[in-house]
Structure 1
Amino acid sequence: MKAAQFSRFGGPEVLEIVELPDPHPGPGQVRIVVHAAGINASEWKIRKGMLSFGAGLPQTTGRDVAGVVDEVGEGVTDVTVGDRVFGISDDGAGAAEFALLTFRAIIPPALGFVDAAGLPCALETATRSLDQLKVGAGGTLFINGATGGIGGTAVQLAVARGARVIGAAGPANQNYLSLLGAEPVTYGEGMVERVRALAPDGVDAAVDVAGNGILPQLIELAGGAENVVTLADFEGSEKHGVHFSNGFADGHAFHSLGQVGELIEAGRFWLPVDRTFPLEEIAEAHRLSERGRVRGRLVLVIN
């Protein structure tokens, strides 16, 4: 099969399309013909050598996938050959013609493959952070970095839980943030004051998606480090006593894959796709993801 791979750490130019053996599912796994694969920030960080999960070189890439089941492993009863599914590539090799999935769900009828491929990691990460902060009805949540894939997902999931959401984004994304259901504020000097103008007593909880060094301000707004979770600032979390949420250490929230369909069908959740690319242009997709300021998701179209 064709797959994206890198044999050394570095910039997007280290990515290449190679031929690899076709994978086959083991117990509990399914194989899908990949129709689309999402791009996540963790992938370019791994490619650059900024993150390591013990894998050697060469490495494949790609976690979020959507496609059609064409093989099922022993013990699989939730899906069958021919089903449209989305989920997480077990070996981080979703940017390929085939992928193996343990964590998966049926694609909601309202979604195509491209839209579904943008969801899995964002859904899991956002749900995990909201669960850790016990976000629910009647509370006020502040999200720092509220318009990317994870931030935009967290906004909508929190609103669906009945929370009031205040979100920080750049000037160009203020209207978009309002459409997602949050009360927008801009980044930069005076942000804490702008949040307090909306919530004079502060907020009940805060999620840091942007990782731009403002954990002390979030602690102040949320009334303590225990009310803050960061998804992007590991060094700051250690310095300020904030929990750094990590699905490998904290336990995952992949149950969210099977729950989002109800919100989608009710018109209460959407995650826009900013741009699509063929597999052969994965380097450009990584380049844009690394540059930041993407509204929604970047997705590879494969089959």
Structure 2
Amino acid sequence: MTFEPAAPTIIRRPERIADETWLIHQVQEALGAPLRVYLNSMVIRGPEPVIIDTGTVANRAQWLEDVFGLVEPKDVRYVFISHDDVDHTGNLAQVMEQCPNATLLASWALVERFSNAFEFPLERCRWVDDGSHLDLADRRLHFVRPPLWDSPTTRGVFDPATKVYWAVDAFAAPCSTEVEESVDQLDPEAWRTGMATFARHAVAPWLSLVDGARYRDNVEGVRALGATTIASAHSPLISGAMIEPAFDLLADLPNVTVPAAPDQSVLDAIIADTAGGE
């Protein structure tokens, strides 16, 4: 038996979502449900290209081909890691090896926590915190933590030049087997329930403990950035007229009742179904 992850079978090519800004896609089948989940990352080109998160081990070959089809490795100036989850750090070593001129952007907490899995080249690191910024030749990037997060290392990125906000795991919602490209193609109730279930069971189980007013203030602070495009690691693209409804859904998450998380009986059913298909 091998424990290597299976390579994805659904291929979505890089998507241009704004000037010099590309979403790098991976699509994963959900366990035990006819749903699909995006595992996205991003590339900002321009005079000083930036790679935002580095994909998964399972998708390594395709991810490297997609990213380096957009930008030459030697031209990459920065590699930003939003947090230390495996679906965001899967190809970090390969990227830093192939991009000799790149500086690694991450929080102190990420470097501290993740140093047992990756030997950080500290002389090539720059620590960024919530509220800090980075001046590039053609734009200023702002590091703004999203309202929802599953790791204290989390930092989002807002680019005022394009009004694109990299929301990390916030706004996460599965799509159907059709693999919708944008949230306006989702069934509205499925979007609402999917975002709530993802948030409460996979990203922020602490939502049930928060002070509602303080949480909403945090949501409104991110809304006030004025993003016109939201790229989430685990959602179809959110843009245009869907921005406000997306923030409304996010703000209401502490009040939404969600189904119980899959338990052992669900795992037993998945195993039985798999065995029956062999």
TM-score after normalising by structure 1: 0.29
Structure scoring higher RCO (CA < 8 A, sep ≥ 6) equals: 1
TM-score after normalising by structure 2: 0.31
User: Which structure has greater strand proportion?
Assistant: 1
